[in-house]
Amino acid sequence: MTSSNLRNEGPRRASPPTTSDDLRLAIIAADPKLSRFNPLPRILALDEFNSGTHGWTELIGNHDGTGDLNVVDDHMRDFRPPQLSSCTFFDVGTHGAMSGTYALKIATRPITGHTAVAIRRLTMADRGLVQIEAYFTYKTEAASEENQAASQPGAGAWDANIHPSEKQFGAFTFATDICDADGVRYHTVARYQNTNLDREFTRQWMYPVVPEPTPREHFENKVHLEYAADFTAPNPDDWRPFGNPQSLCYNEVPTKVNWHYLRWQIDTRLRRNVELQVNDRIYDMREIPVPVYTEHYESLENLLNFYVSARTHTSVRNFMFLDTVLISVDW
């Protein structure tokens, strides 16, 4: 597993170059909305949140035939509705997003362990490379008399560089939920852990070694998780680091928004990760294991879901912002 500096080589070629490839790359390079991305040959979705939520919605656990929400798993019943945010703050007013005024905001409650999740639901027309790219940032909620964030766990001293709120951001996660036509289901997961559960900086990319507990496993009494459990993999011991720690640009205070580039590629033919790029780092993820559910699932034929989550490790709201997401494939 390695990380390395990146030299931007532009959109990647799937095969030896042809005139049509050159034309495609030239068109991408000339389009202001696309030239900041490196898409695979077919673009499935270009989600610029200045024009709406583009199908990114709140994740929820399953309910029964009567629509009884009391049967929804406790840890999957409150993932919060995403917001179209103008990135407005107490000090400067509206900051705005990268591509316009609005970004998608995924906001936790101020409850230790609470996770907010937005999900995008697609299906697969073939197998092969799948890539999600995003411009994102992450913030904690600024302190106020009502939220008392400055005195909540994780807040440290202010030295005019590192802000106390930075240690109050827990983790954000990019992940998938995929099911082959034969019912084989798995998740690929890339989590940025800003702080550990003791609210110490780790700034470490992580992956889980177990598949996410499902509502069916709860229904069959195989698992029961409490509210605010880590739904992706509830046991902290089931998370492993990959690559070297990576510092991101929180930019000193909770009200300055700097957008980061992320590109994460997986291979659905091989059911594995390929690589993760975050700004100037590329992490080779080919050897990272992808746990597969031992039981098969129906009703999920060719499932291809992407989710993005934020998780707070203290009693302060954590925010994940997405300016734009691009999903592309090589089929």
Partner 1 sequence: MRQSLTAVIERNTPAAGEFKTEPYEVGWASEARWFLRLNTIPEDRPRIEYVTQISPDGLVWCDLDGSGYESTGEALISASVQEFGNWLRIRGTIDGVSASTKLTIYLALKS
Binding site for partner 1 (CB under 8 A): 52-53, 58, 60, 69-70, 72, 77-78, 80-81, 83-86, 88-90, 94, 101-102, 105, 107, 109, 141-142, 144-147
Residue number, 100 or 241, with CB nearest to partner 1? 100
CB distance 321 to 95 below 8 Å: no
Closest approach of partner 1 to the CB of residue 142, in Å: 6
Closest approach of partner 1 to the CB of residue 231, in Å: 16
Residue number, 80 or 120, with CB nearest to partner 1? 80
Residue number, 89 or 201, with CB nearest to partner 1? 89
Residue number, 147 or 202, with CB nearest to partner 1? 147
- Which alpha helices (DSSP H) does the chain contain, by range? 19-30, 215-219
* 204's tokens: 């470490």
Closest approach of partner 1 to the CB of residue 251, in Å: 18
Closest approach of partner 1 to the CB of residue 109, in Å: 6
Q: 3-class DSSP state for residue 194?
A: strand
- Which alpha helices (DSSP H) does 100-171 contain, by range? none
Residue number, 53 or 202, with CB nearest to partner 1? 53
* 256's tokens: 């300055």
Helix H or strand E segment including 140: strand 129-140
Closest approach of partner 1 to the CB of residue 78, in Å: 7
* 81's tokens: 């509705």
Distance CA(148)–CA(154), nearest Å, equals 12
* 262's tokens: 């992320």
